[in-house]
Structure 1
Amino acid sequence: MDKKINILAFDENLEKDRILVYYKGPFIDTVLASIGDRINEIEMEPLLNKKVFSIFLELAQNVSYYSEEREHHEQKSKSYGKGSFLICDWNSHYSLTSANLIKKSWGPVITEKCKKINTLDVDALRQWKRELRSQPMHDGQLGANIGLIDIALKAGSPLEVDITPFDDDYDFFALSINVSKTINNNNNNI
């Protein structure tokens, strides 16, 4: 009986906290497809849906690539990052958050990059993105390091970073972004 009460309380909290999507676990292709399907079921304007979906993909890719907590799949000979993803529905915006473990040394690097992103206007962000894309890839590099810039451009709002100590080697990294429900057709950075 206690478990049923806990599940009901959890469900009530999801509703109270306006949570539309919540996932915790390995960021496996099939799970990401299901989350994408759920995002597409949310009633919103098509351009807004495209922004939310695109930002979800960037956040999910960051967890999948960079989470220090991994799940290995023998059949696919692949490793997937583990973490959490959340979408909340507020009156004026959607809030998207991803979270995962990172090495302690990455905390200051990520924080500084996000601070820089938050100080730049759209033109400066686009210029920085072009510069990063034109740089050669380094060994072990999984992308052009433009994901955070893309998220800020698409959302048109600042990145919110929260880094919490986890243990001696790792920190818990959470990245949130708000996406306005008001469509600005002059600046739809998708």
Structure 2
Amino acid sequence: MINNESIIESKAIYEFYKNMQKENVMLLYQGDVNQSLLNAILSITEGKLDTNENGSAKKRVLNIMVECVQNIYKHYEHLEQNIKNDYSSILMLALNEDKYIISTGNVIFNDKVELIKNKLDNVNSLDKEGLKSLYMEIMKNGKISEKGGAGLGLIDIARKSGEKIEYHFSKISETYSYYILVIKIKKK
């Protein structure tokens, strides 16, 4: 016989399942982020993408997934273990009628919020040609940071998605905020 607690858990799991079906969630990951995870997520994503999907959309989704996981990892690796335990990173891929939607969430230091927000606002203010010019300018003159980037990740995401990047920051303490990105990629 199932006890009341198990019934409640079963109902919660079923409700979660129904919500994932309704939102057409293809992939959902919550937890630690590392290189092995990146390889596994890309493999799973490639298998989940519509086999009839045109190569261009599939490639753009995979490339943006790589950028997103690398972005999460860049911030994740410097966190204290108790923060990693309390605030997991999340990565989700969903599909609506004409777009793939990649959503990420991860903890960042509060002193990075304004810098990231400014970069996102700048990227979102540019059209296709402006993004290309900024990308080329950074490639030509940019300095590679100790984390291996020159700030190209967000520009690359915007260029490949062809859409504005949605974002939100939620302050969780005096030191940390939870950083959410939503990227939409047209199928065609």
Question: Which band: TM-score by shorter chain?
Answer: 0.7 to 0.9
Partner of 2:116: 110
Structure 2: tracts of 5 or more residues without a match: 1-5, 82-87
Describe how 1:14-163 pairs up with structure 2 within 5 A.
14-41=20-47, 42-43=49-50, 44-67=53-76, 68-69=78-79, 83-133=89-139, 134-138=141-145, 140-163=146-169
Confirm or deny that 1:9 pairs with 2:15.
Answer: yes
The structure where strand makes up a greater share of residues is 1
The structure where helix makes up a greater share of residues is 2
Aligned-pair CA distance for 1:159: 0.7
Q: Give the total of aligned pairs.
A: 171
TM-score, normalising length: structure 1:
0.83
| Inter-partner Cα distance in structure 2 for 1:159 and 1:29 | 24
| Inter-partner Cα distance in structure 1 for 2:43 and 2:169 | 30
| Inter-partner Cα distance in structure 1 for 2:27 and 2:79 | 21
Please tell me whether the aligned partners of residues 23 and 96 of structure 2 are also in contact (alpha carbons under 8 angstroms): no
For residues 40-94 of structure 1, give each alpha carbon's deviation from its aligned partner in whole angstroms, at most 9, with x where no partner exists: 12212221110000000000000011235466xxxxxxxxxx5110111101211
Structure 1: tracts of 5 or more residues without a match: 72-81, 183-190
SS at match of 2:61: helix
CA RMSD of aligned residues (A): 1.7
| Inter-partner Cα distance in structure 1 for 2:91 and 2:165 | 15
Please tell me whether the aligned partners of residues 96 and 176 of structure 1 are also in contact (alpha carbons under 8 angstroms): yes
SS at match of 1:105: helix
TM-score, normalising length: structure 2:
0.84
Please tell me whether the aligned partners of residues 69 and 100 of structure 1 are also in contact (alpha carbons under 8 angstroms): no
Aligned-pair CA distance for 1:6: 2.3
Q: 1:9 to 1:69 in 2, by over 3 A?
A: farther
More displaced stretch, 154-163 vs 111-120 = 111-120
